[in-house]
Amino acid sequence: MPTYTYACARCGTFELVRSIARRTDPAHCPGCDRLGARVFTSPHLSRLDPSLDRAVTSAGLSSERPKVTRHVPPAARPAPSARPGHPALPRP
């Protein structure tokens, strides 16, 4: 069964595992037993690992406002190769 979020006027939000058929019914708050209405939230985004959350946020920002780069950042440059034939290859 899915987990739904409800809001209590006194205690705040709480989650409840319920059947889909009862998802719109008000639910009793576990703290004060008042009825709370369902709150619509984004699915499980608050439970993401912080590093994954940063990656998802960064990817979203990058798709909306990509940064323009005119050169390769120093940290992204590969280390020079020690193989004898590599220095003769064309460079960007």
The residues that touch Zn ion, with contacts defined as CB under 5 A, are 8, 10-11, 29, 31-32
| Closer of 37 and 72 to Zn ion (Cβ) | 37
User: What does the angle CA 40 – CA 44 – CA 62 come to, to the nearest 5 degrees?
Assistant: 100
| Closer of 16 and 29 to Zn ion (Cβ) | 29
| Closer of 35 and 56 to Zn ion (Cβ) | 35
CA distances from 30 to 16, 19, 24, 36, 72 (A): 9, 18, 17, 10, 55
